[in-house]
Structure formats: structure tokens, C-alpha cells
Amino acid sequence: MKHFLPFALCLVGFASLALATDRQQHVVFRRALPAATSTSLRVAGWLGLLLALAALVAWQGWSLGLVMFSGHTSLAAGLVLLALIGRGRLQA
Amino acid sequence: MKPEPLDDEPRLTGRGIRQSMSDLHTWAGLLFGWILFAMFLTGTVAYFKDELSQWMRPELPFQAQIPDRAAVAQRVADELNSLVPGSPQWSMRLPDARNNSVYAFWRTGTRAPDRRGFGEGHFDPVTGKTVSSRETQGGDFFLRFHFQFHYMSALWGRWLAGAAAMFMLVAIVSGVITHKKIFTDFFTFRWGKGQRSWLDAHNALSVFGLPFHFMITYTGLVTLMAMYVPWGERAAIKTPAERGQLAAELSAFIQPGRPSGQAAPLASVEDMVRQAQERWGRDGVGRVTAVNVGDAAARVAVSRGEVGRVSMSPQLLEFEGTTGKLLSVRESVGPAAEVRGVLYGLHLGRFSDTVTRWLYFLVSFAGTAMVGTGIVMWTVKRRSKLPDPERPYLGFRLVERLNIASVAGLSIAMTAYLWANRLLPHGLPGRADWEIHGFFLVWAAALAHALLRPAKKAWIEQLWTAAALLALLPVLNALTTARPLWRSLAEGDWIFAGVDLMCLALAALYVALALRTARHKPRTRPARSAAPVGARLAQEGA
């Protein structure tokens, strides 16, 4: 269960980063978000990833923590992309 | 809609660095793509090699609880004493969460009737007796194939694997340079746009796993480093004594010294393992090795397991065999050896808990898909530019067919290996070898099929074959063993249930791939295609 928190942080982090990009804003909201919103999304996204890394390193130390971080980030980014694709397909 | 310019297509401004890198990426990737795909897929599966090995030895009973390792070590040591009295060396791997048997190998000394003087066996942790199970290499075949292939000397195989890994590093670096919009395009996938979609998928699979792929390729090279670059070692280490010391530093085994010739029984192995457990925890003991057993010069080493530490560097307690006195504690190696140990450990991922193991599996699987999409893209990109799509040139046809055999054909062959495990008669001489021959025979048949059939039909037929073989494997297991899926589920045997369920999940994946391939209509790119309109219409009608 200790894997859940870092994974959730990665997921939220990548989702925020995705929504901070122009292309995804047009796909998801059909309009550009205000610049301030995009910036805070971007900051929140990176913060989520850093917190996930911190949680893993605090739990497992650097070597195991970094390996697990690379796994969690890959999976989370993949799921965010799949969600975006799925959403795009449903709208189409 | 106007086709968007592709990142990897020639610019009007001449050949910049990105274009050279793109060419390098394409051709390095294609040349070793088939080998890399096979290495990735078998290596990915090998993360579950212990589970597969259990599944392939259904005679070894399900282990609901890990038995007390100290008592197990004593039982098997006693059994080994009566099996090979006075063995110069034996070593046993104790059971753990992923292994339900004690695997031991031993040297029988010079008086042995067989030339090599080695023996091995699986032992029941509860009784200590040998278990007779079907002869198989289990999941270890995939692991070994992954870095040294088969039907060639291990040395040549490892050189080939090393060359492929070097090309992989080249492909990673050149791929990153070619892909100029990593951050902008990070979450971009354009659905249903032919080549563009393939490129997006390839990029996503590559970029998401980039740190992992880089790590796995680099550490993979490190595992075989001493073989590739032996000169430093050869210059520094000249005498046999020094070589022995190096071996001792890097391995968990102890070397047998000269026996005294004076008979003396072995002290309690159980007590030695208990001492190690006090130090490393109940689950921390991995292996027990003894040398000069039955002699006054006997020594026993209890070494630490790999779970929970990212290093393959051995840690061990060494005991005097006859008294059980602790002689030495080795818990650290020199910095260079430790770096090697960590990189080695990272590649193998044996330290992992179950979640991390699955992460390794999933990201490696994505890596497999990355290589797969890469080699398929080579044909997708060129198909639209063929002068006559009905009759592609020889190189194109060759790549297309090799893609089918290496992607779909390998999946069929790997499943066939598991089928052979259930179907070959138990007493067949060389049974374990025949399982492997079966794997290659089926793979060769897949290649022949791919060469003989029209490309699209070959893809569809092979994908359906893989799906059918995977979906029926749990059925075959239920028919040929006493451990069908429903029973493993009821008993909480997640090793057997896991393999069966994984086969079903993969079968679903192959069904999806087969359906998509069947529905797919190759797109032409009117702006670029040199084909006359009639030929294009004919192709779209096909």
C-alpha cells in the first residue's frame, strides 16, 4: 500500500502537466485556459512528481527510490495518455 | 486536412544534425530491431522466471507458507550428505516467496562415474527428499536466451547481445536528438492518422520509459562488462590466487581449499542459518554453500538473499564446518565491486517487492512495444511511398516478413514452449532440450508462414494463433495437471493462477491486435505518392 501515495502523486502530477499544455487544453476544454491557470497547473504537476520522488526516497533510499520512481512515472504517464486518448475517442 | 510535416522527414535546409541522427536511429534500429525485440520480450517475461519455473514444474506442491529456512537447510544438508557423501562442494538455494523448492547443485569429487562430476536437484523443503518433476529449464530458458541466445556458444551469444545493447544505446541517444519536441509532444497522440499515429505511439512508449530503458540497457552491458572489456582485469590480475580472490569478491560461493584427509562430520547447519537470520532477519538468508563436506577442513558459508537490497554483491557469514564457529563476516566489497553489484542488481531487479516487479515488467513490456512499433514503422513509412504497392521491392518484403516472424511469431513460439512443457511425455530422453527445440521449430514455422502468405494475412493469422494458444493454455493446464485455474484461485495459489490469468490477459491483447490489423486499410499519402491514381484506388479497394 506504500506504493499508492507516490503513484497517486505521479498520476496527479502528469495529469496537471498534461492539462497545462495548449494542445490538451483545446482537446479537453475546447479553449485555452488563462495563462495563470496553466502556470499553476504546471507548478502543481512538477510539485506532485517531486513529492512522489521524495516519498519514495524517504521510504526506500536513493537507489531503490529512483528505480521505483522511474517505474511509477512511466506507468502514470502512460495512464494519463491512455485517458486522454480515450476521452478524445469518446468525443469523436 | 493537410498532412502535417513529420519530424523525421528531410528538411529543405539540407542535412542537419537531426537528420543524420534520424537516419542513424532508423538504420541502427532496423538492423538490430529484430534481435532487440526478442531480447526485450524474453527479458520482460524473465522478470517472472521463478513463477514460470514453478508453473512448469507442477509436481512441486504449492507452498502456502515459506517454511522455516534453518530447519529446511538442515534437512537438505542431511539428504545431501547421504546422497553425495564427502562432496567437495555443494550449494543450496533456500525456498522463498517465489521458489517452492530447494535447488541444490554439488560436485561429486573425482571418483564420480560421470565425467563432469556435477549433480543438481530440487528438494522438497518439508521432507528434504528430492522431488521428481518433469525435466525442464523453466523460466530460466527465457532468461538465458535473453542474453546469450541458443544453438550458439554462450560466448558468441553474449557478444551478439552486447552489440545489440550498444545499438540500443545508440538508438536511444539518436532518438532523443531526433525527437525535438519531447516536452511539447509529451502527451500527444493523434488517433487514426497512419504513420503519424505510429510515430506518436513509438514516441510515447519511448519517452515515458526513457529513464528505465536507458538504465536497463546500460546496466545490461555492465552485467557482461568483464567479458567485453577484459584487458584491465587481465592486466591487474595475473596469478591464479589473485583470480580466485576476484571470484570470491564477486560471488557468493566459497572456494574449496585443500582437504585435510581427516574425516569429521558437519556441525549443525541449522544453527549457522539461525545466526545469519539473527543478523539479516528471518527472510534474509538466501543460500548455503559448503566445501570439503565430511572433512576436518570443511567450511560453510551462509549468504544473504537479494530481497530488499539493490546489489548483487555477496554478503556472507563463513563458518568452520566441524565446529560451527563463525570465522568471518563479509558484508561489504570494494567500491568498484559495489558499483558493479548495484548496476547488476538494478538490471535483474531481484530485490523487488511484488509491486516493483510488476513495474519492471510493465515498463519493459512498453520497451518491447517501443521496439515493435519502431520496426513496424519502418514499413509503414515506406509503404506509402512505394511506386507499386502490389509489388514492393525485395528489401521491403524482407523487412515486412521478418517483422511478422519476430513480433507475432516469437509470441507464438514462446507460448508453444509452455505448451511443450505440458504435452511432452515425462520420460522423453532430453525432455528439457526438446521443449526448447519445440520453441525454435514453431518459430521457424512462423517464419516460413510469414514468407509464404501475403503480409497482411500472415499478420492476422499469426496474431490469432498467438491469441488462441494463449487463451487455451489454462485449459490445457486444467486437462493435464491437477492444478486448474479454479483450484489455484480457491487455494490462493497466486503463482499458478497468475500465470493462467496472465495468459488470458495477453490473449485478449492479441485478439485486439488481430482485430485492428484486420480492420486496417493502408493509407496512401496523395501528396507524396508517385503511384498513378488507378493503382491507389485499387489499393484502397483491397
pLDDT higher than threshold 60 for residue B534: no
Give the three cell numbers for residue B354.
Answer: 511484488
Q: With an 8 Å Cβ cutoff, is A86 touching chain B?
A: no
CB contact under 8 A, B187 and A88: no
Q: How many CB atoms lie within 10 A of CB B176?
A: 16
Interhelix angle A35-91/B195-208, rounded to 10 degrees, is 120
pLDDT higher than threshold 60 for residue B272: yes
Q: How distant is the Cα of B184 from the closest Cα of chain A, in angstroms?
A: 7
Give the three cell numbers for residue A27.
Answer: 482537446
Instruction: Determine the pLDDT at residue B53.
Output: 92
pLDDT higher than threshold 70 for residue B304: yes
Average pLDDT over residues B391-405: 90
Angle at B350 between CA B348 and CA B354, to 5 degrees: 120
Burial class for B324, CB neighbours closer than 10 Å (0-12, 13-18, 19+):
middle
Which among B187, B191, B359 is the nearest to A68, CB-wise?
B359
Burial class for A20, CB neighbours closer than 10 Å (0-12, 13-18, 19+):
buried
Burial class for B461, CB neighbours closer than 10 Å (0-12, 13-18, 19+):
middle
ipTM of the complex: 0.89
Chain B window 295-334: which residues touch A at a Cβ cutoff of 8 Å?
310
Q: Is residue B510 classed as helix, strand or coil in its secondary structure? A: helix
- In which residue ranges of chain A is pLDDT below 50? none
> A81 or B63: which carries more pLDDT confidence?
A81
Cβ contacts below 8 Å, chain A against chain B, sum to: 70
Which contacts (CB < 8 Å, 24+ apart) does range A50-56 have? A51/A9, A51/A13, A52/A5, A52/A6, A52/A7, A52/A9, A52/A10, A52/A13, A53/A6, A55/A5, A55/A6, A55/A9, A56/A6
Give the three cell numbers for residue B532.
Answer: 498513378
Q: Which of A28, A63, A74 to mutate to test the interface with B (most CBs of B within 10 A)?
A: A74
Instruction: Determine the pLDDT at residue B533.
Output: 42
Q: How distant is the Cα of B213 from the closest Cα of chain A, in angstroms?
A: 10
Which amino acid type is present at position A87?
Answer: R
CB contact under 8 A, A81 and B310: no
Which among A18, A68, A74 is the nearest to B356, CB-wise?
A68
pLDDT higher than threshold 60 for residue B452: yes
Instruction: Determine the pLDDT at residue B531.
Output: 42
Q: With an 8 Å Cβ cutoff, is A68 touching chain B?
A: yes
Separation of alpha carbons B53 and B338, rounded Å: 30
Instruction: Determine the pLDDT at residue B540.
Output: 39
B195-199, B376-380, B385-389, B487-491: range with lowest mean pLDDT:
B385-389
Confidence of residue B249 (pLDDT cuts 50, 70, 90): low
Are B295 and B263 in contact by the 8 Å Cβ rule? The answer is: yes
Residue B91 phi, psi (nearest 5): -150, 135
Q: Which of B190, B208, B356, B516 to mutate to test the interface with A (most CBs of A within 10 A)?
A: B208
Among B441, B442, B458, CA closest to B397: B458
| Furthest CA-CA distance within chain B | 92
pLDDT higher than threshold 80 for residue B21: yes
Closest residue, chain A, to B355 (C-alpha): A3
B3-7, B22-26, B456-460, B495-499: range with lowest mean pLDDT:
B3-7
Are A20 and A42 in contact by the 8 Å Cβ rule? The answer is: yes
Alpha helix (H) residue ranges in chain A: 4-19, 22-28, 35-91
Instruction: Determine the pLDDT at residue B55.
Output: 95
Confidence of residue B310 (pLDDT cuts 50, 70, 90): low
- Strands B316-320, B326-330: pairing is antiparallel
Give the three cell numbers for residue B18.
Answer: 537531426
Instruction: Determine the pLDDT at residue A26.
Output: 84
> B52 or B85: which carries more pLDDT confidence?
B52
Confidence of residue B4 (pLDDT cuts 50, 70, 90): very low
Are B96 and B53 in contact by the 8 Å Cβ rule? The answer is: no
Give the three cell numbers for residue B180.
Answer: 525535438
Chain B window 338-367: which residues touch A at a Cβ cutoff of 8 Å?
342, 346, 349, 351, 355-356, 359-360, 362-363, 366
Confidence of residue B240 (pLDDT cuts 50, 70, 90): low
Give the three cell numbers for residue B262.
Answer: 581427516
Confidence of residue B234 (pLDDT cuts 50, 70, 90): low
Average pLDDT over residues B283-311: 83
Among B342, B275, B265, CA closest to B296: B265
> B220 or B370: which carries more pLDDT confidence?
B370
Are B148 and B224 in contact by the 8 Å Cβ rule? The answer is: no
Mean pLDDT rounded to a whole number for chain B: 83
Separation of alpha carbons B97 and B99, rounded Å: 6
Q: How many CB atoms lie within 10 A of CB B35?
A: 19
Confidence of residue B1 (pLDDT cuts 50, 70, 90): very low
CB contact under 8 A, B212 and A85: no
Q: Which of A16, A41, A70 to mutate to test the interface with B (most CBs of B within 10 A)?
A: A70
pLDDT higher than threshold 80 for residue B463: yes
Instruction: Determine the pLDDT at residue B528.
Output: 42
